[in-house]
Structure 1
């Protein structure tokens, strides 16, 4: 699928993907009242990942991740690695689909079968992809504004409702900053900052990589601030214990909004965030997985592959992920330490080293 993105579109796509449904949860809650600081620390570590990813892209400006892997490692070694990345992106999209359907089913459509929500959501995503990546990217420039507006408005209204208790954030760093590193790495840096590796499948649609690093770092800094602010608001409104056990803490916080008996029942704010952020994150992750496969097997028209993989994704989400609680356990205890860390950190770093070595070797040969 051909496309041509502007840097502003890349910014909005990164922002929507990074925020996704992330702000709905108390990210970094293992750090208790210092969760918001753990997010900021993870963001700083995430800047290193952004540098690694963008440097790799600069070496191969017109290539996507699958092409870069094959180019650096060759087909025998590269093929299984490309398939592993495709699996990783599809896995994240199944998590997003399951998360979205469970949240909608719990909050809005209690009597609607989950399979119906699954089908509607994934059908809209397929339709968006069939319209083309250019249309998808242009739409992100429109949707990012209501998402940011409703997110920040909800934070302000929670404060005006008098539900913010800054005592819930005390004491700050009782054991110093060092213990926060165990929360920042690998949990928070992997989710959401390490997920930026998916844009190695989209940066190749830019006309030029000039300014790519700057725009990506700006997007990550913006999303990091918003995720940190969300954790701060959730913990100060609910307390550490309630924030940790709540299934959808931001939704619970927004339900408390009541300004003079006039502004209340603002559940729609959380739902809008879920719809916009969840849709974009799912679609970007899902198509990255599809594109890895179509690139590997040189499939020119990938529309039929989109349909096949969407059915597979729906089946996996519906049959293997019974609840958000199980999904979180699987992600935190299996996927993050054994798969995501290597896919998002170790392998890109090694690919960059190999890239440097190959480029240096080729320059030496040219000089001879």
Structure 2
């Protein structure tokens, strides 16, 4: 399974698009209003520390995925329940990304289409792509990522033409002090989306040049974080802090305000294109991580059939996990992100690194 390889540039594209994913459409830090860009900055700082932990573990155990290094660090029997939790995390997170895509599509361009049709079609696309292996996924991302970035830059340029664009909407900066922003940023801003980069540990063994592990991980996180910061500044400047804190699809709302010479309007298609591509990066990486983890846990020789099995789970799971989109968001940000992800993306990796470090000292 590790005979397939991807280049450092392809993994950089995958992870950068993965970090942007759904976060760039939904808007981060809505609870801190005009200080959202600082909220993201604090999250990025914590995410870089976590990425240092992830890459150090990969350096300690070169050629191993997260699932393969767990038994070597904490033992076979203790590792099984934790591996199962990571498979659950990757699978459920992929279903959440698909649910967010489906919600956007049916509220904009396909109002009368059942959401299961939208999500099911997207899952079939992911299965078709990922069954070709990590190399085909990497090559496709290499083509798609420049289109994604071009669309984002074009939207930003268009937002500058909006009459309501005003950088003063970002003031007062830290009006209530830095403490409230820090409290709300930890652990939510770290866990989503930066801590989710733990899925990169499922890609490291497929990297052609493993000397670039840290460079690829850190650079993708930094670029993704900076783009999210700029994006939040642009959105708050256009719609204002109050609307930013309440709107479900903030970038879509801001883009709908664009009108060039009262002639060029309705650039919603660009936002929808970005959401489709962003979920392709995010759900694709989670899907791949879950399939590889499942194959390695049960010692399967290939994971092509695993994609089919996971696909039949992800599609219905995206719908049954919440009765409405509002409930979906509330459960995610109030319970799933701070507690479940906090345990798997912060507590467990740091504990693993400490144990791996002690093992290295003892072995010497």
The interval holding the TM-score normalised by the smaller chain is: over 0.9
Aligned to 1:228: 229
Q: Distance in 2 between matches of 1:182 and 1:152?
A: 32
Shift of 1:40: 1.2
Aligned to 1:345: 346
Give the 5 Å matches for 1:271-350: 271-350=272-351
Shift of 1:348: 0.3
Aligned to 1:100: 101
Q: Secondary structure at the match of 1:258?
A: coil
Instruction: Report the TM-score, using the length of structure 2 for normalisation.
Output: 0.97
Q: Distance in 2 between matches of 1:215 and 1:123?
A: 29
Q: 8 Å contact 2:21–2:278 — kept in the other structure?
A: yes
Give the 5 Å matches for 1:161-200: 161-200=162-201
Q: 8 Å contact 1:102–1:323 — kept in the other structure?
A: no
Q: Secondary structure at the match of 1:62?
A: coil
Shift of 1:149: 0.9
Q: Distance in 2 between matches of 1:89 and 1:338?
A: 15
Give the 5 Å matches for 1:111-260: 111-260=112-261
Q: Distance in 2 between matches of 1:175 and 1:315?
A: 43
Q: 8 Å contact 1:43–1:220 — kept in the other structure?
A: yes
Shift of 1:209: 2.4
What do residues 261-299 of structure 1 show as CA deviations (whole Å, max 9, x unaligned)? 232111111011011111121011012112111101101
Q: Distance in 1 between matches of 2:329 and 2:63?
A: 36
Q: 8 Å contact 2:321–2:328 — kept in the other structure?
A: no
Give the 5 Å matches for 1:86-97: 86-97=87-98
Q: 8 Å contact 1:26–1:235 — kept in the other structure?
A: no
Shift of 1:324: 2.4
Q: Secondary structure at the match of 1:211?
A: helix
Shift of 1:334: 1.3
Residue 42 (structure 2) pairs with residue 41 (structure 1): yes
Q: Distance in 1 between matches of 2:115 and 2:180?
A: 40
Shift of 1:203: 1.0
Q: 8 Å contact 1:25–1:231 — kept in the other structure?
A: no
RMSD: 1.2
Q: 8 Å contact 2:33–2:244 — kept in the other structure?
A: no
Shift of 1:237: 1.2
Q: 8 Å contact 2:30–2:246 — kept in the other structure?
A: no
Residue 34 (structure 2) pairs with residue 26 (structure 1): no
Q: Secondary structure at the match of 2:163?
A: coil
Aligned to 1:366: none
Instruction: Report the TM-score, using the length of structure 1 for normalisation.
Output: 0.96
Relative to 1, partners in 2 of residues 1:301 and 1:209: Cα closer, same or farther, differing over 3 Å? Answer: closer
Q: Distance in 2 between matches of 1:296 and 1:256?
A: 50
Instruction: Name the stretch that deviates more: 59-68 or 229-238.
Output: 229-238
Q: Secondary structure at the match of 2:75?
A: helix
What do residues 304-357 of structure 1 show as CA deviations (whole Å, max 9, x unaligned)? 221111111112112222332111111112112221001001100010111111
Aligned to 2:61: 60
Instruction: Name the stretch that deviates more: 279-288 or 80-89.
Output: 279-288
Shift of 1:12: 0.4
Q: Secondary structure at the match of 1:300?
A: coil
Q: Distance in 2 between matches of 1:360 and 1:331?
A: 40
Q: 8 Å contact 1:61–1:208 — kept in the other structure?
A: no
Aligned to 2:262: 261
Shift of 1:169: 1.0
Q: 8 Å contact 1:72–1:355 — kept in the other structure?
A: yes
Q: Distance in 2 between matches of 1:283 and 1:26?
A: 21
